[in-house]
Structure 1
Amino acid sequence: MATSSKNDRRGERKPAATLPVARVCVDVALPHLNRLFDYLVPEQLADDAVVGCRVRVRFHGKAVDGLLWERAEDTAFTGSLVYLERVVSPEPVLSPEIAELIKAVAERYAGVLTNVVRLAIPPRHARVEAKSAPEPAPPPPAPESEGWSRYPRGRSYLDAMAAGRQAHAVWQALPGEDWPARLAEVVTTVAATGRGVAVVVPDHRDVARVHAACVQLIGADGVVALSADLGPSERYKRWLLLRRGAVRVVVGTRAACFAPIEVPGLLVVWDDGDSGHATPFAPYPHARDVLVERAHLTGASLLVAGFARTAEAQLLVDSGWAHEIVAAREQLRAAAPRVVAVGETDEQLARDEAARTARLPGFAFDAARAALKAGAPVLVQVPRRGYVPALACAQCRTRAMCRRCAGPLSLPGGQDDGMPRPAACRWCGAAEAAFRCPACGSRRLRAVVVGSRRTAEELGRAFPGFAVRTSGAGEVLAEVPDAPALVVCTPGAEPVAQGGYGAALLLDGWAMLGRADLRASEQALRHWMTAAALVRPGAEGGRVVVIAESALPVVQALIRWDPVWHASQELAGRTELGFPPAVRMAAVDGSPDAVNALLEELRLPPSGEVLGPVPIGRVDAEGNSEQERALVRAVRGEGRALAAALAEAVSVRTARKDPDFALVRMDPLELL
């Protein structure tokens, strides 16, 4: 606890007459100091020091920021307390509900309270704070929602939202579905009852689409958008509108899961398998899991929605916590495009014997030509950006690496003085004009995988007279006109075609499925379905060609458009092997000494188990690993105990000021 200063002991200040003790979350992110600290509230600050306001306090002789978590009559600390230095602002930025959520998230992810506070509450802007909030807009009228009638349980879910009942659901959107409009309808249904709604989507393009759909039904004064592309001042302004109760509905990226909406009635996450929902800052929470926690704490409903389905969403359904909203097969057959894969029929292979090995077989060219001839755009999805992002020896297939830093070689594309640019390292940028394979001595290189720029160049030659547009990395297109063109994109950067695409070519399926990742097939199916959902129905000529073997289960799930079956298979496999989400698991990364030292301090719950550690990353000149990873798992019922044990082990090491640091991440997306 904070101890008293000389001025405090002299009695120059008096404590407040009521609730004189302030419990403060001090802005210090050290694990062994992860608790609230007690301070005295001086008499002159008694009115301004409201619960949830920003304060300035003395901590270990330094002035630091903090949040006033609560006020109390007494303290368990036996020494003398320091007074609050000052109240930075009497604005109560921390509501009791968000305070409870922050604490729950910190405990779930073995994190520090202060780090979660930084994710939940934006920095202060005094000029914005000084402006008064407008009066809240009246609740909107309940909307018409014929689109939900295509789903057997869709109307029942909307009726539950209109009646104010808690109902959790996992919604599988039909291909071609105007999902922003459907979300806007369920959001408006809840807003019409006077309750708040938070909608979390992967990126700013999705924010713009859902926000525009909500504005049409609710009005511009009833909904705000929060995303990273806003400036700090504008973001804080919109956040304050929510905190002050002037707006009931928020649409945003992952930080919106902490949005301070009043009386939460519905929490929505779209495409929960997207990596954009995972926060890259400690304690690395996932938006879906934060919303699940918030639904538990507040009694709000949760809607997990998307074209595909993750194993985590399937677990919510299998456990009975959520119900699924899935269209009937007749509706699906009417809405889905025709999906074709490599080796689907003997006739296909008879017409094109190289179909199994060609990057773009003949039947894919036929689908693209037919769509272009019909006046529709064609979507081409490529797993990698760049020109030729990976090279290998043409003779022995050994990966081509830089002689200076051992980084991967690639072809950057383009020309210098009329000559193609030589291979270059993707890490240090050094050119490699005289490559020699260290394994066989060959000087020839071959492409391991072709990037989106090289693909666009090749398609431009294959389809002369048609425009070729690219979307990804530096420039992501929001939409393209309904005109014949080839649109080459990377996964997640697919623009919306105004009238739907005539065809979609999903290239290099092996590159997606061959990744050493627990979620490789799940992610591949999600990317494929996201692209295929933009294609016109099969009855209107819509075709999807996936360059992957048709016998693979994940490809069969795409052909049948059955993400539920694939998610069930994924969950069953992970349950059998003991991987998330069937269990709670943590990854411990660091130097060998740091990882071993933390594991020695760890007090595992009864079901706890340590896998590894195993080397990751580079090795030194003697062949020793510079970084290692250990996986620690426990049954889901002991997930909180596992997180608490990890947090305690980390705090013990930081209290001792051990020089080596080990990074702990609960439920990481990447385990391998």
Structure 2
Amino acid sequence: MSEAGAPEQPGGEQLALIRAAVRERTLPRAKPRTWRGAPLAERLPVARVLVDKGLVHLDHCFDYAVPAALDADAQPGVRVRVRFGAGQREGRREGGGLVNGFVVERRAESDFPGVLAPLAQVLSPEPVLTPELLRLCRAVADRSAGALADVVRLAVPPRLARAERAAMPEPPPTPEPPAAGGWSRYPHGPAFLAALVEGRAPRAVWTALPGQGWPAELATALASALASGRGALAVLPDGRSAGRVDAALTELLGPGHHVLLTADAGPEARYRRWLAIHRGAVRCVVGTRAAMFAPVRSLGLAAIWDDGDQAHRDDHAPHPHAREVLLSRAAQEGAGLLLGGHAHTAEAALLVENGWARPLAAERDTVRAAAPLLRTVGEADEARDEAARTARLPTVAWRALREGLASGPVLVQVPRRGYVPRLACERCREAARCLACHGPLAATGAEERLSCGWCGTPAPDWHCAECGGRRLRAVVVGARRTAEELGRSFPSVPVRTSGRDHVLATVPDEPALVVSTPGAEPVAAGPGYAAVLLLDGWALLGRPDLRSGEEAVRRWLNAAALARGRHDGGVVVVLAEPTLRAVQSLVRWDPAGHALRELADRRALGFPPISRMAAVSGLPEAVAGLLAVAELPPSAEVLGPVALPLVPAGRPRRPGEPPVGEQWGRALVRVPPGAGGELALALKAAQAHRLTHREGPPAWVRMDPDDIG
């Protein structure tokens, strides 16, 4: 005590110690009891809230007081409203705007030494963010160097009160184990189904046989998991393929055993079905990309079809891939895994190589019997036709067209949509470019004038800047132009087109020409297409991308699998150099062998999936600033940075591309296996540091990008 009787004031050294103790959170915390006279919850009065702010420097939970009036409803997993923002530093003081969030935990006391702001509102008592789903989202965020709130936003659909009030059906009884069906064509197929029925967790990479049988086979695998009393989940790249599996599962088990989760259902129907899964009324889900987070109870099987399709990677940050999410779910929940498709990715080949999954394929004799006859330009009967190697439709293709149309529909796959999307000078072959933005000139129709494909500027008086020529030739012919040319050659045959603007689901089993872009091929009724033509193979193989060969094989096999078997007269003609590895893999119908060779090449180059890689893009100063403050692992190797192409005006901006008019750079950071988590954490911490200290413009980080040029 001082002479005046007042307590002694601590000196500067003592104040520093007290402040350090507060920072280290060593002082005792008093339990909050009231807020402005209003009573707080007696038991567990603190709610830890995940605020819906997808910023890496705010990627942690904030503590709020729980008013007594909200005690019963404010349980872990429910949606709440809290004050956050300006004047709401650390989310704990009065002020700021109202934002949504999720209660992730109730606690007896808080680590924060100040006064906690209360929860403003419980939006719904439905605990939608379960501990299992939260753990999965946390794993995905850590792997992707993203914010947890961004992943939760992808995993939990927006709330619709009417859907929450709707009555839920009673859970259906456990079905009987299904018959093997088409799985009997695979030597280890019945054993895989038996393992699922017995409650085990088999993991397999499935090479599906060509033909129309894969939806029924996938449905049988899902039903086998249901027969064990567990749940099942299948993720497919698009609504058409999901619809085929949905129909096959309904035919096998009847209605009520599963739900279909696709964007076509609409927000309310999708949320009602999601709630049915969450509440345990349904234990099986078939859906597109968003279904990868579906809260299936007691998951027994997670399946993905055609994991190489780009539709499986989410367009929103942090851009998780469905394959990686399902791999995490299988590991966390002890579930089986089935990676299926007509083609293989290098990632699937790595799973087989390291023993994490087993191959599930048919014998070679069975494959040859199911596959169509595959032909290329350059075969013996075309040796004397020199034009066959350069013509867009050489003799072997015309013959397949004529003979196929005599017995059924013929599919023509064209790599590009549109009419004539790429043009060049007829004399010197110089690409035709726009004078305004240097974009490619294109023709959108037979009667349409020449215009720029980027900025739309018309070019009625174009002439070649190199040689002065005024005549153009098509470098790439689109699907519409191909359909027009074939229609003139076969005037008595109907011509149908399927592409991004109008995708056909099915075509009847009658003579017709079906011109389609990759991924939009409709299914032919009956035994399948009588013939399939794969045009302009060089356009797929010539892309400057690490995955060009893998993607070409995938697109070709998916189209060729729609043809009839060779014993039914099915023929597939691929117009590409026959000596190339991708073409030979198609001719031999050997997707596993091609994936293994791709994997060997990636290993020699040190590219994914052998290594983990991050792409850091943005303004040059942003890329340099992020890499400067990032504490990268010692094994990290930085490649670049390099300048990214400018994005032209009028073209939709893709993920990872700069805004119009900005010159971005990109650096690739590569680490060996086992260091990917450390790399993601380092880049995320560097982003948080720069955002917190406002150190220049932000950079954009993507883990394991698909578009490595």
Structures share fold, TM-score greater than 0.5: yes
- Once the two structures are TM-superposed, the CA of residue 633 in structure 1 deviates from its matched residue by 0.9
Kept in 1, the 8 Å contact 2:239–2:288? The answer is yes
Equivalent position SS for 2:545: coil
Q: 650, 660, 663: which is aligned to 1:626?
A: 663
> In structure 2, what is the equivalent of residue 353 of structure 1?
386
The whole-number CA distance in structure 2 between the counterparts of 1:148 and 1:508 is: 35
* Cross-structure match for 1:344: 379
- Displacement of 1:147 in angstroms is 1.1
Find the residue that maps to 1:332 and give its secondary structure. Answer: helix
Tell me which amino acid in the other structure corresponds to 1:259.
A
Equivalent of residue 474 in structure 2, options 412, 432, 447: 447
State the partner residue of 2:196: 161
Distance 2:38 2:250 in 1: 52
Separation (CA, whole Å) in 1 of partners of 2:129 and 2:541: 44
Q: 1:14 aligns with which of 39, 44, 61?
A: 39
In the alignment, is the contact (CA less than 8 A) between 1:49 and 1:87 conserved in 2?
Answer: yes
Return the match for 2:631 from 598, 603, 606. Answer: 603
Question: Paired residues, what number?
Answer: 657
1:662 matched residue in structure 2: 699
Alpha-carbon distance in structure 2 between the residues aligned to 1:9 and 1:654: 35
Matching of residues 32-181 of structure 1 within 5 Å: 32-59=57-84, 60=88, 61-181=96-216
- Secondary structure at 1:220 match in 2: coil
Q: What residue identity is the alignment partner of 1:253?
A: T
State the Cα distance separating 1:405 from its structure 2 match: 2.3
Q: Work out whether residues 503 and 535 of structure 1, in 8 Å CA contact, stay in contact via their aligned partners in 2.
A: yes
Pick aligned residue for 1:507 from 507, 526, 535: 535
Hey, what does 2:600 align to over in structure 1? 572
- Structure 2 residue 423 is the aligned partner of structure 1 residue 391: yes
* Shift >3 Å, 4+ stretches: 7-11
Residue by residue over 1:141-196, the C-alpha shift from the partner in whole angstroms, topping out at 9 and shown as x without a partner, is 22112211110110110010000111111000011141110011110111122211
> For the Cα contact (< 8 Å) 1:615–1:625, is it kept in 2?
no
Please state if 1:616 is matched with 2:653: no
Give the 3-state SS of the residue equivalent to 2:386 in structure 1: coil
Matched residue, 1:544: 572
**2:511 is equivalent to residue 479 of structure 1:** no
- Quote the Cα distance in structure 1 between the aligned partners of 2:469 and 2:605: 42
In structure 1, give the amino acid aligned to 2:255: A
2:350 to 308, 312, 315: 315
Q: Which residue of 2 aligns with 1:643?
A: 680
Aligned residue type for 2:160: H
Contact 1:364 1:505 in 2 (8 A): yes
Partner residue of 1:464 out of 480, 483, 491: 491
Deviation at 1:439, TM superposition (A): 2.7
Rounded Cα–Cα distance in structure 2 between residues aligned with 1:609 and 1:129: 50
Instruction: For 1:629 and 1:17, locate their aligned partners in 2 and report how far apart those are by CA, in whole Å.
Output: 54
Task: Report what 2:454 is aligned to.
Answer: 427
Measure, in 2, the Cα distance between the counterparts of 1:67 and 1:34.
Answer: 13
Structure 2: how far apart are the matches of 1:25 and 1:627? 33
In structure 2, the partner of 1:490 is 517
How much does 1:35 deviate?
0.6
8 Å contact 1:617–1:625 — kept in the other structure?
no
Please state whether the residue corresponding to 1:222 is helix, strand or coil.
Answer: coil
Distance in structure 2 (CA, Å) of the matches to 1:532 and 1:438 = 42
Q: Which residue of 2 aligns with 1:418?
A: none
- Displacement of 1:659 in angstroms is 4.2
- What is the aligned counterpart of 1:209 among 244, 256, 270? 244
CA deviation string 1:565-622 (max 9, x = no partner) = 00000001001101110100011111111111111111111211100001111399xx
Equivalent residue for 2:562, pick from 506, 531, 534: 534
1:489-544, Cα deviation, whole Å (9 max, x unpaired): 00001111112111100000000000001000100000000010011111221110
- Helix, strand or coil at the partner of 2:202: coil
Aligned-pair distance for 1:8? 8.7
1:232 Cα deviation after fit: 1.1
**2:582 corresponds to which residue?**
554
Mapped to 2, the partners of 1:322 and 1:431 lie a distance apart of 55
Residue 583 of structure 1 aligns with which residue? Answer: 611
Post-superposition offset of 1:657: 2.7
What secondary structure is seen at the aligned counterpart in 2 of 1:396?
Answer: coil
- Aligned equivalents of 1:10, 1:532: Cα separation in 2: 68
Q: Is the 8 A contact 2:371 2:564 kept in 1?
A: yes
SS at match of 1:118: helix
Does the residue aligned with 2:64 lie in a helix, a strand or coil?
Answer: strand
Offset, 1:216: 1.5
Q: Partners in 1 of 2:41 and 2:118 — Cα distance?
A: 10
Contact 2:33 2:40 in 1 (8 A): no
Residue equivalent to 2:7: none
Q: Secondary structure at the match of 1:594?
A: helix
What fraction of aligned residue pairs are identical, expressed as a percent?
55
Deviation string, structure 1 residues 369-399 (Cα, Å, up to 9, x no partner): 11112x2111100000000001122222222
* Whole-angstrom CA distance in 1 between matches of 2:692 and 2:438: 38
Q: Which runs of 5+ in 2 are unaligned?
A: 1-21, 23-28, 89-95, 649-660
The range that moved more, 536-545 or 283-292, is 536-545
Q: Distance in 1 between matches of 2:472 and 2:643?
A: 29
Is 1:378–2:410 an aligned residue pair? Answer: yes
Secondary structure at the counterpart of residue 618 of structure 1: coil
| Matching residue's letter, 2:214 | W
Q: CA deviation at 1:9?
A: 6.9
Amino acid at match of 1:249: C
DSSP 3-state at the match of 2:475: strand
Q: Report the residue type matching 1:628 in the other structure.
A: G
Equivalent-residue separation in structure 2 for 1:485 and 1:217 (angstroms)? 32
Aligned Cα RMSD in Å? 1.7
Distance in 2, Cα, partners of 1:448 & 1:372: 28
User: How do 1:261-300 and structure 2 match up within 5 A?
Assistant: 261-300=296-335
Counterpart residue identity of residue 444, structure 2: P
Distance 1:301 1:87 in 2: 37
For residues 39-91 of structure 1, the C-alpha deviation after alignment (integer angstroms, 9 at most, x for no partner) is 12222211101110000111122211101112122332232222111111101
The structure number with the bigger radius of gyration is 2
Distance 1:454 1:8 in 2: 74
Structure 1: unaligned runs, 5 residues or longer: 416-420
Q: Following the alignment from structure 1 to structure 2, what is the Cα–Cα distance between the partners of residues 302 and 250? A: 14
Taking the aligned partners of 1:513 and 1:629, their CA distance within structure 2 comes to: 24
The whole-number CA distance in structure 1 between the counterparts of 2:628 and 2:429 is 42
Report deviation, 1:11: 4.3
Aligned residue identity for 2:83: R
Whole-angstrom CA distance in 1 between matches of 2:425 and 2:34: 76
Letter in 2 for 1:669: D
Query: Is the partner of 1:612 in helix, strand or coil?
Result: strand
Indicate conservation of the 8 Å contact 1:8/1:83, yes or no: no
Q: 3-state DSSP class of the match of 2:263?
A: coil
Deviations along 1:603-647, whole A, 9 cap, x unmatched? 111211100001111399xxx981111001101201100000110
| 8 Å contact from structure 2 (residues 33, 41) kept in 1 | no
C-alpha distance in 2, partners of 1:496/1:270? Answer: 16
- Tell me if the contact between 1:410 and 1:423 (Cα under 8 Å) persists in the aligned partners: yes
Q: CA deviation at 1:459?
A: 0.7
User: Secondary structure, in 3 states, of the residue corresponding to 1:588?
Assistant: strand
Q: Which amino acid aligns with 1:282?
A: A
Of stretches 65-74 and 11-20 in structure 1, the one that deviates more from structure 2 is 11-20
One-letter identity of the residue aligned with 1:392 = A
Task: Report the CA distance shift for 1:121/1:10 in structure 2 as closer, same or farther (over 3 A).
Answer: closer
Deviates more, 1:14-23 or 1:291-300: 14-23
What is the CA distance between 1:233 and its match in structure 2? 1.0
| Cα separation, 1, equivalents of 2:486 and 2:558 | 22
